[in-house]
Amino acid sequence: MPTSSSNIAFLFPGQGSQAVGMGKELAEKYPAARATFDEADEALGYKLSQLCFEGPEEQLRLTEITQPAILTASVAAFRVLAEKGLRPGFVAGHSLGEYSAHVAAGTLNFGDAVRTVRNRGKYMQEAVPVGVGAMAAILGMDLERVTGVCNDAAQGEVCEPANINSAEQIVISGHKSAVERAAKLASERGAKRAVLLQVSAPFHCSLMKPAQDRLAADLSVLTLQKPAVPVACNVDATLLDNADRSRDALVQQVTGAVKWEQSIRLLIAQGVQTFVEVGPGKVLCGLMRQIDRSKTALNVGDEASLVRVVEQMAV
């Protein structure tokens, strides 16, 4: 490979990247991918593979199904890449994707991870009654100004930056009325756009504290290993290299903001030149273009993209 693994990072997508058919091609062609879906089916006690490959879409969109589905499709793609000899020097995952990153790094056993994210999705959904919370994407406004908008719009309610995706895109989360006020205020103060998102719950804000507490109990009984490669974590954009800090980061990210831009800049500072999005969709490749267009951003989600990446990284 022209690129040594130390300057390659694998990135794993989060909720919103799901699509009916994800992982199907890889599972049909590669035993390692098929075995990953079989393992997930067994761990969960239902045919997650069938929902991924055939839908229906409305079921795949249910948070407690979406989360293990994306994790499984991502790990399946990762395992095929590993069989091809492609291994990263660093890993990172966006929100839910941090679990995929920890499976890739060997911190978390895959079966444990699948069961944990199913519960994570369930706990998040149950933390706030439907209709009480909301999220909105604020485009073209920096973090300091978005934070100011959230503070001014809160009026005693929760309204907080939730995903710092790039300098161009920050997602806010909290009580529906506060988020709506913030979106209006952001537009008035010069944001390019402020768009309310179609989400089932207000993720990554303090309203998720009940989910965080329940998840902490689940994670406390799992055995985590020292990551084999450094994991850039969402909650404080630092590199994790031990089991206890990894566990704490997974707990804290339920209510904490996803510091994605800062995590990517941290990896760039470590010398990463090539970023490979492993799993369904190309959301993280899109954000990469907003963060640093000079870096190579590739994705692996199906047979064609896998072949392309393997060829590109072959000698």
Residues taking part in catalysis: 95, 204
CA distance 66 to 18: 7
Give per-residue burial for 161-197: e unless 16+ CB within 10 Å, then b: bbbbbbebbbbbbbbbebbbbbbebbbeeebeebeeb
Name residue, tokens 């909301």.
134
- 156, containing H or E segment: none
- 210, containing H or E segment: helix 209-220
**Quick count: other Cβ atoms within 10 Å of Cβ 209?**
12
Q: What does R_g of the chain's alpha carbons equal in angstroms?
A: 19
Single-letter code of the amino acid located at 199: V
User: Judging by DSSP bridges, how do beta strands 296-300 and 133-139 pair with one another?
Assistant: unpaired
Give DSSP secondary structure letters for 260-287: HHHHHHHHHHTT--EEEEESS-SHHHHH
CA distance 243 to 137: 33
CB of 223 closer than 8 Å to CB of 196: no
**Quick count: other Cβ atoms within 10 Å of Cβ 31?**
12
CA distance 116 to 235: 18
Write out the E strands in the chain.
8-12, 90-93, 133-139, 159-166, 169-175, 193-196, 231-232, 239-240, 274-278, 296-300
